[in-house]
Structures are given as structure tokens and as C-alpha cells.
Amino acid sequence: MNENTLVWMRRDLRLHDHHALYQACKTSKNVYLAFVFDETILSKLPEKDKRLNFIIDSLKEIENSLQKKGTSLSILKGDPIDEIPKFCKKMKISQVFTNRDYEPYAKARDSKVASLLKDGGIDFHTFKDSVFFEEGEIRTKSDTVYKVFTPYKNRWYELFSEQGANISDYKPNLKSLAQLENKKSITNKDWYKELGFISTPSVLTAGTKEARKRLKVFADYIQNYDEARNFPAMDQTSNISTYIRHGNISVRDLLRAGMEGTTNGHRIWTSEIIWREFYQQILAEFPHVQKRSFKKDYDSIKWIGGTKEFNAWKSGQTGYPLVDAAMRCLNETGMMHNRLRMVVASFLCKTLLVSWQKGEAYFAEKLLDFDLAANNGGWQWSASSGTDAQPYFRIFNPYSQSEKFDKEGVFIKRWCPELAGFTGKKIHDPSKADMIEQSEAQCTLGVDYPFPVVDYKHKRNEALEMYKKALKG
């Protein structure tokens, strides 16, 4: 049995069902835990970033649990390539355990860390944890990568059954944690100031306790998920995507919840988890999607939308109520309902004719649950440039989407209160309101709320021509 082992925590901010921690506690007398504030990542963030608050609060929850066990979480700051080997030397670590991260930056970083540790005689072990099946495990009969979701999902279920339909639970024996007192812990130091950020509280309570609470509440109405998930005002999604992103809860927790019932709601929610793994596989196998289109022909599109349109979209001032409400919600909370993500993405690319890369980057800056693979996959699906994406000629009509999924305008009125006086179809398209109706609604178009920044029908035709021209070569 090894003497000292380090568990390097990253996107797995929890102490339960944690693969690397479980394996470390099995093989070592003294297990240390560390988290690195990666300055390479932090340097790209605005000084007010709600995600940093979420991470720090998650770390504080872990630290409070560890202190009850007579130990502490070591918090490091800098480049992990420097900080991890330095910590290992200081604490006489013989092996480092961590859960795998599939993003290109993370893979390159981990490769460098592993090489430096090897030079120092320290073993570096990684484990599958954030997904149930990872790259290379779900393959076609001809041993190629699935590029269409439904066959991938079917094979996912087949492999799951072949393995006994067993969802492992990695329960670490925390008695193996090294006794460590840390006077500079996450709980007694101003880490916002230390990192050069301004504390910006999240609308969500961070941590595993809250994640489990939300999953338990969701269990009461998951059977309706297949229908209710499309209506943003109903608030009947799980609301735990941010907790998934930061690893407050495990993928196995999610699958247990999804597979404990046989309703359409259970089935569709489990399918969403598998979509997440599908996009992780695509990013891992085709890393070019991070910057370019999965379908390379789509890189030739000449996006003709301008700065005016993009800024209107970002600020929720397009004159299309459902789009504006969704974007204002994102800007205020860092959250967006999945149906609305598709609506605003399609609108940016196929109505405003602005490139999906710009929209993806804006979501990356704002979303509390930002995940490179899922965000990239979703945007390329909407832009028709991705794997198994909607056809380029399928363009969401923002008016019909609004009437169908927010019929009474409940969500719109919450985030665009200046429109609260409109009723019926005018809440979805206030530009059709005459002066008397505007007066009755106490909302003057062009003053209190903008006219549409573009004409939908005209831009729809323009989008089709733009795609056709690019794809003809």
C-alpha cells in the first residue's frame, strides 16, 4: 500500500461516488485532496463571474466536511503544470489520482503534468468518472465513431445491458484521508481578492447537498418531463445542469434517477444524459469542432449578420419577445431553459445571420453550466453544421415557438415587464399592435420596447440562400 496519494479535484467537487477518491482510499494510507485555481483559465474570465462563486461555495462545502474529519482541502493557485509537481514534492506524494477531463486543453495539460511527475518518480493515474461510457467504448460494428445520436443511444443501452445494467457507486473510505490542518483553507481566506475577482453571488446554492435536494424534488415530476420540459414558465426541468458541470453530483446519481421509472419522462431524461455523453465523445474524437464546423463544408458560409444584430441579441433588444426574454434571463442569472437555447441559437444563426461561433462564445461567457462539449454540440446542431444536426432549411419561427411554448406570455412578461400590458398574439408580436393597443398596454414601440431588428420572413429566405450558396461550393 502506498504511503501518500494526492487526489487532484477538478470537475468533480464532491466527496461521494467519486472514482479517483475511491481508488486512492483503497490503495493509500494517507490521501490528500487538492484543488488548483488554474490561472490559465481564470485569466480569460471577467472580474465578475458567477461561476467562480459557485466553485468557491462548492469547495467550502467540501472543506466543512473535511474539517469534521480532521483534515483539509489544499487550495493551490497558478498553473497546474507547475503547482501539482511542486505540491507532490513538498508532501512526499508517491502517486496522483484524478478523474479524466476530455476537453482539448485539459488533455494537453494532464499529459504535461503526467510527464513531469514521471520524471520525479511519481505515478499519475486517471479514471473514468464524469461519463458512464467514454471515447472508444461506444463503437459501430465496423469500429468507427457514431456520428448519429439514435444508433449511438441504442448501442449505449445495449452495452449497458451487456454489463449487467449495473450502475456502480464508488464509495470512498474517507478514513484514509491524511490528517491535515490548513490555516489557509478555502473557508478562512478571501479567495476572490486573492484571485483578482469581485464576488458575484450566484442565483444557485452550490454544493452536493443542494444538488441532491434538487434531484429529489425533480423525482416528484420527472414522469412529466417529456412534455413539461418544453415550457420555460412551468419550471419542471431538473435545474441541476450547473451541479452536473461542476461535479457536485455524479453521472451515476443521474442515471439511477432516470432509470428508476419506466415513464416517457424517465426515458427522455435519461436520453438527455446520453446526449451529453454523445457530445463528449464527438469532442474527444473530433477536436476540430472546438473551433470549426463538424461538417467542414459549413466553414465556407459567409455570415452576413452585423454587429448591430449581434448586440441586439446579446442584450435582449431584438424586438422578438421570446428571444429577448431568454437572453435577459441568461444575462441576469447565467441560466437558460433548453428549449430557449435552441430558439435563440437558431434565431442568431438563421434569422440574424450571425455565426454560431459568436453565439457559442457568448454562452461560454455567461452560462453557469457551461460545458464545452454540450455547448458546442448544441450550437452546431442549431446552425446545422454539427453531427446529427437539424437540416439547414429547418429554421425555428420565433413567433410560433413563442405561441406554442409560452402561450400566455408568462415567461415573456417575467423578463420583459414592459410588455406585460399586451394580451393574446400581441404579446408574441407586439410590432402588430396599433397605437391604441400600445397606449392601452402602456408600451410604445420604439421607445419602451424595440421594433424587430430584422424582418423574419425576409431573413429566412436570405438564410436559405446563404446556406445553399456555401454548400454548392
Residues with catalytic function: 272, 275, 303, 338, 356, 379
Alpha-carbon distance of 53 to 35, in angstroms, equals 15
* Burial grade of 91 (CB within 10 A; 0-12, 13-18, 19 or more): middle
Alpha-carbon distance of 272 to 389, in angstroms, equals 15
Q: Which residue has the cell 487526489?
A: 7
Q: Which amino acid is at 181?
A: E
Strand runs labelled E in 79-151: 95-99, 123-127
Rg, C-alpha atoms of the chain = 24
End-to-end CA distance of the chain: 62
3 state SS for 416-473: CHHHCCCCHHHHCCHHHCCHHHHHHHCCCECCCECCCCCCHHHHHHHHHHHHHHHHCC
The answer to whether the CB of 316 falls within 8 A of the CB of 343 is no
Q: What single-letter DSSP state applies at residue 130?
A: S
